[in-house]
Structure formats: structure tokens, C-alpha cells
Structure 1
């Protein structure tokens, strides 16, 4: 048996059991090639609807479709063998009713092979989360700064600065946990609130702009690798500048082509001489 055949994927129950233990590491992935590079190192790959902005140049995630998520989700599953793969349900694919959410979540699970879906919203989505979980769909929640609600929230601002807002977000976290989600992403909230939520709910909390108090962390890979040329959020740590490296490589290539240095003899098929 090959070494790759012996690799087992990290499962949803295994992630859920990490509460209060070794922090969960999660990064976004949208393609086979990126999934292959990240898979050996992280616990979870998130096929986020952030792909709308990162890959498609959209202004927000609102125009992302279910078909887009399924296509990229399937690619990430094919490109990975170890990490647990979670796929976002995009805007308007689950808010109408629990039944709509189940139909679309079932498509995502069946057509991608992923382990779970992620959806945004707190108490207002609790009924839907419970409906999905009772029918065998593992759900990761998402509270705090929820990008799909950017218009209602008035922009991408940190949440939880007022007492009232903190109470609402804490209530959202409890509702998501009680509904049966195995984990919840907490985005863009102040550190004391992230700590309080993590201490208050029995499920794994995954922070993004929510401090190290959470049970795990997630970042958009293109942000941390220096690939995305747009605004870099305060909470992102750039671990590389791959975008700059790619630009320099493209410049060197173009110069070689113009100077006829590429392709050289070693890149060229020679004529076969007769025997």
C-alpha cells in the first residue's frame, strides 16, 4: 500500500474534539494546486465564498453562486487527502428556508465530497442549522462580522465594541452551538468578546480577526501569502510575498523572450538525425 493511500482525512468529530486542546489551523483554498501545497500542514481547508473577491475580482461575496462553490469545492477535495474540507454556502442559497438550505447543502456534499458546510448567521439561523444537523449535514457556523451581511452591517468594521453588540454576538454563538454546529467561525470581533465566547460555548471557535483566545484560526491564503493585491486587513500576518516573486518571474520571462534568450537550446526539440 502506498504512503498516500494510508493517509486518513481529519474528520468532523476529530475537529470537534479539539475544543480547549491543540488549536485548529485552517486556511482557504480554491484550486487543486493550492490545496496540494496546504494539505500536509493544516487541519482544515475552507473553500470560502471569499473566492468571489480573490479569484473573480468581485466587490463582495454576494454574487458568488452555488455552482461556483461546488466547482471549487470539488477541486479542493481532489487536491487534498488529509485536511478536513469545509465549503461555504453562498449568499441566498440557504436563508429562504431550512428546506432550501438542505437541498443546497446536500448538493454541495454530494458533488464535492467535502465533509461539512459553513453558513453565516446567529440566532436567526439556528432553526436552519438544527434542521441540517438532524439530517446528517455537519455545519460550521459563522458569527460576528459576517461578509454576506455587509450591506446590513454598513461595511467591514470590527464588531462587539458596544455592550449591546457584545450581548447579541454572544447570544448568536450560544444559539449556533445549541443548534448543533460542530464549530463556529468568529470574525472581526474585539478580543475580550472572542475570549468570552470561547469560554461560554462547548464547540470549537475559529478566529479570524478575533485574537488567539479562540480554539483555532483561519486566514484567507491569498492574504497571508501576499498574492491578493487589494486591502490587507489588520488581522492578517503576511508569511510570504509570493505575489512579488511571481511579478519578478514574469518580468524576467518577458525580458528573456524579447531578447530571444528563451527558449534556449535545452528547451528546444532537436531534429532527429537518420540512423
Structure 2
């Protein structure tokens, strides 16, 4: 399609990945026609997506990677996935945070993006089980020096996961004694059937405690998380107040989600679930 000729590489690769997942596989010659780019460009895109572990190259094209429900990518691997969508989601989610509130941020690359948007919100108390999220606030304070209204950051203890979250009994006990105005929760997967899920059993329990300690639960998840089911569910959709996602979430998924919770699509007008 000629209108796609000038797409940035990141946008083009997102389209390729969506096509692979939707159809169960694509051929190089189909992609060159659809995207209006050269055979070499498509092959470079497939190489990049294969290195990220989100698809598998086969002769003449590519197929989706079929992951086990226990597979948990590391933080760096996940950071390369849907970066623009995560930034859009972070920008929209940050608008929900009031100065002076007590919030919790779970582990994950989307909550990490959100943390960068919150460093200048005054008088926040931030509880997190993410080493990466805590580092964002500490780095901002080291750079700017002591200042009035800087966030108070509480990092739970625990055992570190591949995604740099702290989980297990130490984290669970710390979280159980706290109460948050709002929890921003990154997820491995979200679906009507399984709710919110993760491949890590210990992380599931820690996330369960986070949800129990929050007055409001906001899930921040890009559209690729929809329909993904990890090994362990830790909350049903009716326990979630708001889902902040990106414009890639298809219409049928939007309709399903809106039956359970408030839907905020970054960059679009807000859609609220019926009362």
C-alpha cells in the first residue's frame, strides 16, 4: 500500500507483527506488496523481530513464536517491544495521578515508562516492587538534588525476577501492611477468560497483594497483551477499574473490555464502561 511507504521502521515492524499474529504467518512477498517496500527491507525487519523473540523466521516468511505459559522474558527483551505504544500509555496514565497521592507501581516496562512521567508530580508517595522504577525516581533526585515536594519512594524487598521485580514472602508482607490510592499494574497477559495473568507464580501472589491493597487498580498494557494467558491468574477483570492501552487494541477487544471496566485509549477520546 503506497501510503505505508514512508512508515518508520518501528511502525512497519508493528504492522508486520500484527499481521503475523492475526494470520498465523506471512510470506516476504506478501509483505513487500502490502507495505510498499523492498524485499531487503522486509527481511531486515523480520531479522529485527526475530532477534526480539516475537516471531520466528521460516523459509520465505515468518510465523508467530508459540511461547509456553511459563515463559518470562527479561526486562531488556521486553523493553524493545512496542516502545511507542508504551510511551503513549505512560503519557495517558500520568494524567490520572494527583499530586500528594499514595500510588503503587508494579514491575514492568510500561510502568517503567510511566515512572519517568511522574518524577515531577509533587508530594507523591510511591511504593514499588520494581528495582527499575525505584531507580528512575532516585536518579531524578540525584540529578536535581534535594527539592521540596520530591517523591518518597518505598522499595519492597524480595527475590528478583527476570523482569527485575521483587517478589516472594518479604515483598508480600511489606505490601500487605500498606494502602494505596491507586495501583498502576503492568501485566504479562489480559483476557476475559483468565483476567490478569503472569508466567511467574511468585509474582502472581505479589501482584495479588498489590491489588488487594489498592483503592483503585489501573492496568497499563499495550494491545499485544490482549488474549495472552500466563501460567497463573491473579485478578479478574471486574477487580480492575481502568485499562490504559494504545490504539492498536482491535474494536472487538474494546467492546469486550468495556463491559467490565473503564477503557482509556491513549491518543483517542476516552471510552467508559457502562454503569
TM-score of the superposition, structure 2-length normalised? 0.30
Which of the pair is proportionally richer in strand? 2
TM-score of the superposition, structure 1-length normalised? 0.30
Higher gyration radius (CA): 1
